[in-house]
Amino acid sequence: MTRQTEPVHLRTGQVAELAGVNIQTLRYYERRGLIAKPHRTLGGHRAYSPETVTLLRVIKAAQRLGFTLEEVAELLEAGRRSHPSPDLRERAKAKRAEIERKIADLTTIRDTLGQVVAARCTSLMDCTCPGCPLPYAELTEKERPGGPSREYARRAGAPVSQATAEPLQGPLDESVAQPAGRQEHAEEEHADADLHGQW
């Protein structure tokens, strides 16, 4: 008589280690519905299937590509449909365009910071270096009580140098301007920590 093989189940710590996440992240994804709630053993312990490890790795890979957890959930749901869906392809195109915009913003920030260093700027509000590259330096001079200073008046009549011809202007992507890793909930911070640790 052939003995029926019992299904393999993994404990919480095993799943977290194999998937490269921490336990807080695992529980958070479970609460968000990204992974199915596990069975319970007779002793009350969580018992996950090996497929959970694969799913967690897929989620982390999608996050490294720039997708949010909400987007990942929608893509996973689309993947469970029986018929083909263009969702992933279309979202990937949109995500690529978004990343290109962020790269452009970061490039502008990098170049402006280089100009600040080269010009030896000394103050955000009262910089007196010639041809200050800070885009708001002249504005603060105009708004200062008593009118513009002699330094501003001197700069105002001077031609804009090649280094400052294109200062930091226009709307800046807030996700670039805001400090990295700033999350509303501590649980999301744990998830981000897992993601950053895999780069």
pLDDT at position 168, please?
Answer: 52
Indicate whether 111 and 164 sit together in one domain: yes
In angstroms, the CA 99 to CA 148 distance is 40
Position 161, amino acid: S
Residues 156 and 99 in one domain: yes
Average pLDDT per 10 consecutive residues for the chain, totaling 199 residues: 64 94 93 90 89 94 92 85 73 92 93 88 77 64 51 46 46 50 52 60
If one counts the domains in the chain, the total is 2
Q: Do 30 and 75 share a domain, yes or no?
A: yes
- Structural domain for 118, as ranges: 94-168
Please check whether residue 3 lies inside any domain of the structure. no
Q: Quick check: 63 and 29 in contact, CB under 8 A?
A: no
CATH number, domain of 78, equals: 1.10.1660.10
- Co-location of 100 and 151 in the same domain: yes
pLDDT at 7: 63
